[in-house]
Structures are given as structure tokens and as C-alpha cells.
Amino acid sequence: MSIVDTPVPVAPAAPARATARLLRSELRLVFGRVRNLVLLAGLAAVPLLIGTVLFVTQSTPVAGQGPPFLDRVTGNGVFLVFAALVSCLPFLLPLCVAIVSGDAIAGEASTGTLRYLLVVPVPRTRLLLAKAVAALAFAGAAVVAIAVVGLAAGAAYFGVGDVVLLSGDTIPLAAGMLRTLGVVGYVIASLTGLVAVGLFLSTLTEVPVAAMASTVVVAIVSGVLDALPQLSAIHPGLLTHHWLDFGEFLRLEVDASTLLAGLAVQGAWVAIFGALAWSRFTTADVSS
Amino acid sequence: MTAGGPAAEPAVRTRGLTKRFRSGQVAVDHIDLVVPRGAVYGFLGPNGSGKTTTIRMLLGLVSPTAGSVELLGSSMPGGGPVVLPRVGALVEGPAFHPYLSARANLERLDAVDATASPQSRPGRIDAALERVGLTAAAAKKYRQYSLGMKQRLGLAAALLRPRDLLLLDEPTNGLDPQGTREVRALVRELADGGATVLVSSHLLSEIEQVCSHVGIMSRGELLAQGTRAEIAETGTTEVRVMTRPDQRAHVARVLTGLGLEDVRVDGEVVAAPLGGTAVEKVAQAVVGDGVDLLGLEVRRPTLEDVFVRLTGEGFDVDR
Ligand SMILES: Nc1ncnc2c1ncn2[C@@H]1O[C@H](COP(=O)(O)OP(=O)(O)OP(=O)(O)O)[C@@H](O)[C@H]1O
Ligand SMILES: [Mg+2]
């Protein structure tokens, strides 16, 4: 009868172990969901689409027309990666980030699973962190998917070779690949601020679609403001302002300060919205 | 697991627990809940009386506006990480990922539990599914589950590990009579195993049989709590006299003459609260006055009488 006689063995795993298990579960949830996989496939199809159009029409776009890098694709397939990233950055990648980060907390709240996670118990801070990492991982997977498919399609359609940089200098293909890696890393890092925004919005509502939509709106409004010369004073701090700075990797001398400025802005957005999300989520009543 | 003796600490204790929602509504109003260790505590109250809100506060999901909560001797929400692994809960119905199978859902819940052993996971999941009769439907997507199957899966999740305390909010909701009976048996079995169980319901009849203790909520207040016998005793014992129709008025006069109050003719019987009067005196007086006594019954108060008296018979939600 006595509870004292039959204690339930409670041997908490080391926090790092527990966090790793939680993270694995989150990743499985995000990457196992059909909707997300369709999204990923859609993004990966963009470079394929661009490459196919260029290949079939056999036309080399005039420099300065169409998105940056498009005119170089037929000369060197590597550039299909950059052209595709430029095409996806204004809308498709933000959409992808918004869907996963906006869904992070609000999705669990709307199905009611949040309350059961919390009574397992999963500490709220740890859950939020795992959700953030999983969302970022998905955004990263999207960027990588674009790059990989871009490279494969570019190589298949146009072949790849030594890379002619924006400055006109030529570097060997291997060095070009390294720079491509840099581009991918920078683009992923550029999305961290939006992940934090999405996560914060996700803690505010039990309606995932609302969080997703408002996250997309944030990215789009940021782009709109960035295009208004009257607001040039605030441009450097905008979420999306430095997104296309990845072109820096294609100069002979990569200017680290330009890249660091972009990363710093993302860091600031992450700090602010991460803190907001944390303070909201760790104190909110879970009444869903 | 250190504290001295099981009697020392109740499994659940709240002091002045209050929740005022931002809407201004006071859903729970200064309740002092005491659930002794080993008890099966029936947490009763009409719709909207504050049962679920109370359970949410016990689990640290909702923070109280005032008052404190102790679960298994630890104060909540601070003690959550230590104490919640020993607590199984069903709160406001089951909730799972619709596009995952039942088993995948349980696997996820167990995987995120820092204190659960991954080695024993498959076995524990099988056992939990077996216990609620879902073994055959384990591979089905949660979305394809019926209401009762969902409820069962919620119970399975609460039983993934051995628990010292179970907080079950309306566990019989949506179950067929067979399922309801199984839940009652399950609750009994858990209690026999030494666990404390709190079962909330707005239907007294569904859980009355298994409860050792009862708490009655109405409009956010805990109107009564104690053992079943204690609660029932707060009701009134009635004497009911059966006689021929033409003699009922006569009997009523005799009872009033004995000093009984509120004498009334209730269908075919004359009934009155017994008060302090001995029942044999009533019998003697009735027979002695020349009444043909066809039957005489002392009706002890039932939990239901008390429940209805305290919470009212109205069907409408109070607020
Ligand atoms: N998040 C919330 N915000 C505002 N009011 C709420 C909220 N949750 C519950 N309430 C109110 O608090 C009161 C108590 O609700 P609660 O869910 O605790 O009742 P209950 O006893 O569980 O009822 P039932 O038997 O129907 O499940 C209700 O009047 C309800 O409207
Ligand atoms: Mg309820």
C-alpha cells in the first residue's frame, strides 16, 4: 500500500543525453511530416526548373537581365546554385522557415500535445531550444537541397569547370566548391533571425497557420522596407537586408567585414526574438 | 521517497488555490484539496466547475493566481522535473499527433522523457497498449482512431511507466459501457498496486463505485471533501413509511406529532428526515395509533443526494 515501499525508479539521464533524445525526436517529427517533405521537394525543384528552362531554350540570358548569376549558368553549371538561391531567398525560403518555425509551438498547442509534452515532463526551455534547432535544421536542409540539386542539374546540363569570379579572376573548381560551401553556410545563417521570429510568433497563438502567415509577412515587409530609399537609415538592421551578401564569396578577396555585418544583424534578431520567445513560453499558461 | 511514512504527506495538497483568468473569471476559488496517499479520489463537479483548471494547476500547466500546490510532497511547479515522472495524467481528453500511429505517438512521448530508459521502451509500450486493449490497433494512425480508442490511448500514455499518482480528467469520456467498466477496473487495479488516483468526472455514477474519497466542486469552489462515508453522512437520513392511501394523511400527522420536520407525502410513502428520532419510536407510534403499517424504511443518504443538493439539479451550465 505504501508508496514509499514501491518507489518508481527515477534516474534522470544526463541533460546532454536527454536533450539529444529530445532533439532526435523533434527532427524525426519535422522531417517525417509529409507536408514538410513536399515543401523540401518543391524547393529542390527550383534549380532543376531554372536549369531545364535554360537548357531547353538554349539561350544565354544577357548579363544584368533576370536574377543575378543567371547569365553565367550556361557557362558554368556551378552558378545554377547561386541563381537558384537568389530566386528562392525573397519568398520560398522564408515560406519554408515560416511553416516550420511557426508550427513549432503553435502546432503542438493546437493538437493539444503541448500539454502532454510538458507533463512528461519536458522542461520548457529545453523544448523551445529543441524546436528552434529542428526548425533551423529544416531551413538548412532546404538550402542544402537547393545547392545539391542545383549543382547536379548544373553539372548535367552545362558541365562545371573553373570558376570565374565576379572580379573576372578564375579559381580552380575545388576552390569554387569551397566557396559554394561558404555561400550555403551564410545563407543558412541568414535565416536564423527569421527562425527566431517565427518561433516567437508561434508562442503567441494556438493557431499554427496564423504564426506561419505572420512570419512570412515579417520577411516580406522587411524586403519592402529594404526597397524604400527613404528608410536607408534603418536598412542595415533589417532582417533581410544582408541576405544577398553571399555574393561576397565570389570575389577574389572575400571581405569578411561585409559577411560579419550580416551575421551580426542575424545574431541581434536571434537574441531579441529568442529572448522574447523564451520569456513568453516559459511563463504562459498552457490552456490548449 | 525519503519523507517519513505514507501518512505524512498527502499525494496532493493545495492551499488557497485560485485561478482568475484574464477574462476576469475566477475558475477556481481558494480550494484546499487534500488527496491522501493510496486514495481513489473522485473529483466531481458539473461542467465548468473548475475541475480541469485545477488539474492543469496541479501539473504546472497553468500558473495559479494565488495559493500553492504540493504533489507527492514536492511543491509545484518548481518540483515538476523531479515529481512529474512519477505522475501519469490525462488532461481534458487525449491529444496526439494525428498523422502518427498510436505506437509512434507513445514512442515520441517516451523518447522525450529524460528519466525513461530507452532499452525498456518497446516492452513498456506493448504493456501499456495491452492494458488498454489497443494492441491490435497499435499501427493505426491516430487520425483514424475512434473517440473511445483515442481515450484509451490517452490512458496508455499515462501508464507508460509505473506511477505513484494518476490525475485522470474524465477518463471515461467517450467510452462504451464495456470501456467504462474497464477503466473502473483499471483504477481499482492501480490503487491496489499502491498508486493514488484522482479521477474527475461530471457523472457521479461513473466513478462512485471506485472512489474511497470524494471532492465536490461547484462554480470554482470545493464544497465538500472527505471519505465517501463522511460525505454521505452530510446528507439527511430519511424514514419512509408505507401505508394504505387513505391513511397517509394520518401517518403524516403522527410523524409531525413525534417532532419530525418537513414531513411530506412522496408518491406512495410518507417521508421525513429522521433527525435525532429513533426509528423504533416511529414504528411504535405509527402502529400504536392504529395505522396499518405496510412497510417502513430508513433511507441512508447517498453520495448522489449530497452531490445534487450541493451542485443543484439544473442542467444549464452555471457560467
Ligand atoms: N483559458 C481560459 N480562459 C478563460 N476562461 C477559462 C479558460 N479555461 C477555462 N475557463 C473557464 O473556467 C471555468 C472552469 O473550466 P474547467 O474547464 O476547469 O471546467 P470543468 O470542471 O473541467 O468542466 P467540464 O466538466 O465541462 O470539463 C469555465 O467556466 C471556463 O469557461
Ligand atoms: Mg474538464
- DSSP characters for B249-313? HHHHHHHHHTT--S-EEETTEEEEE-TT--HHHHHHHHHHTT----EEEEEPPPHHHHHHHHH-S
B95·A121 Cβ contact <8 A: no
Domains in chain B, CATH or no CATH each: 12-233 (3.40.50.300), 238-300 (3.30.70)
**Residue A169 to residues A127, A175, A191, B77, B128, Cα–Cα distance (Å):** 48, 12, 30, 63, 67
Question: Which residue, judged by its Cα, is nearest atom 16 of ligand 1?
Answer: B50
The whole-angstrom distance between A116's CA and the closest CA on chain B is: 8
Spatial distance between the Cα atoms of B59 and A63, rounded to a whole number of angstroms: 63
Amino acid B4: pLDDT: 44
Residue to test with chain B: of A19, A116, A287, most B Cβ within 10 A? A116
Instruction: Walk along chain B (319 residues) and give the pLDDT tens digit of each residue.
Output: 444 444 568 999 999 999 999 999 999 999 999 999 999 999 999 889 999 999 999 999 999 999 999 999 999 989 999 999 999 999 999 999 999 999 999 999 999 998 888 899 999 999 999 998 899 999 999 999 998 899 999 999 999 999 999 999 999 888 888 888 888 888 898 999 999 999 998 877 777 788 999 999 999 999 989 998 888 877 788 888 898 888 888 888 888 888 888 888 888 888 888 887 888 888 888 888 888 888 888 888 777 778 888 877 655 555 5
- Evaluate: CB of A58 within 6 angstroms of ligand 1: no
Sort residue B312 into left (φ over 0), alpha (ψ -120 to 50) or beta: left
Q: What percent of chain A has pLDDT over 90?
A: 76
Instruction: pLDDT band for A1, please (50, 70, 90 cuts).
Output: very low
Question: Which residue, judged by its Cα, is nearest atom 5 of ligand 1?
Answer: B21
Sign of CA dihedral B262, B266, B270, B272: negative
The whole-angstrom distance between A217's CA and the closest CA on chain B is: 27
The whole-angstrom distance between A9's CA and the closest CA on chain B is: 9
User: What is the domain range of residue A97?
Assistant: 13-283
Q: Which helix (H) or strand (E) holds A141?
A: helix A124-158
In-domain check, residue A191: yes
In chain B, the largest separation of any two C-alpha atoms, in whole Å, equals 80
- Nearest residue to B179 via CA among B142, B147, B143: B147
In-domain check, residue A4: no
Spatial distance between the Cα atoms of B209 and B23, rounded to a whole number of angstroms: 37
Ligand 1 centroid–CA A118 distance in Å is: 20
Considering only CB atoms, which residues of chain A are within 8 Å of chain B? 1-8, 10-13, 15, 17-18, 21-22, 24-25, 28-29, 33-34, 111-113, 115-123, 283, 285-287
Q: Is the pLDDT of residue A186 over 90?
A: yes
Mean predicted confidence (pLDDT) in A215-227:
95
Amino acid A276: pLDDT: 98
Q: Which helix (H) or strand (E) holds A80?
A: helix A79-88
pTM: 0.89
- Evaluate: CB of B51 within 6 angstroms of ligand 1: yes
- Nearest residue to B68 via CA among B30, B23, B26: B30
- Nearest residue to B168 via CA among B48, B81, B41: B41
Q: Compute and round to an integer the Cα radius of gyration of chain A.
A: 22
Q: Are A130 and A23 in contact (CB under 8 A)?
A: yes
The position carrying cell 556551378 is A78
Average pLDDT in chain A: 91
- Evaluate: CB of B213 within 6 angstroms of ligand 1: no
Question: Which residue, judged by its Cα, is nearest atom 4 of ligand 1?
Answer: B21
The whole-angstrom distance between B62's CA and the closest CA on chain A is: 4
In-domain check, residue A48: yes
- Evaluate: CB of B215 within 6 angstroms of ligand 1: no
The number of domains in chain A is: 1
Spatial distance between the Cα atoms of B18 and B53, rounded to a whole number of angstroms: 10
Sort residue B25 into left (φ over 0), alpha (ψ -120 to 50) or beta: beta
Ligand 1 centroid–CA B296 distance in Å is: 45
In-domain check, residue A90: yes
The residues near A20 (Cβ < 8 Å, ≥ 6 apart) are: none
In-domain check, residue A51: yes
Mean predicted confidence (pLDDT) in A171-177:
92
B118·A21 Cβ contact <8 A: yes
Tally C-beta pairs within 8 A across A and B.
Answer: 125
Instruction: Supply the DSSP symbol for A247.
Output: G
In-domain check, residue A1: no
Spatial distance between the Cα atoms of B108 and B123, rounded to a whole number of angstroms: 15
Q: Is the pLDDT of residue A60 over 80?
A: no
**Residue A78 to residues A61, A148, A182, Cα–Cα distance (Å):** 16, 10, 14
Spatial distance between the Cα atoms of A267 and A189, rounded to a whole number of angstroms: 9
- Nearest residue to B197 via CA among B12, B4, B68, B7: B12
What digits encode the pLDDT tens for the residues A115-172?
Answer: 999 999 999 999 999 999 999 999 999 999 999 999 999 999 999 888 888 888 899 9
Total count of residues recorded for chain B: 319
Q: Which residue of B has its CA nearest to A116?
A: B95
In-domain check, residue A7: no
B56·A286 Cβ contact <8 A: yes
Instruction: pLDDT band for A4, please (50, 70, 90 cuts).
Output: very low
Amino acid B6: pLDDT: 47
Sort residue B222 into left (φ over 0), alpha (ψ -120 to 50) or beta: beta
Instruction: Report H helices in chain B.
Output: 51-58, 80-83, 102-111, 121-131, 147-158, 177-192, 204-207, 228-233, 248-257, 279-288, 303-311
In-domain check, residue A8: no
Q: Which helix (H) or strand (E) holds A30?
A: helix A15-31
Amino acid B177: pLDDT: 86
Extended strands (E) in chain A:
163-164, 170-171
- Evaluate: CB of B72 within 6 angstroms of ligand 1: no
Ligand 1 centroid–CA B71 distance in Å is: 22
Q: Which residue of B has its CA nearest to A108?
A: B97
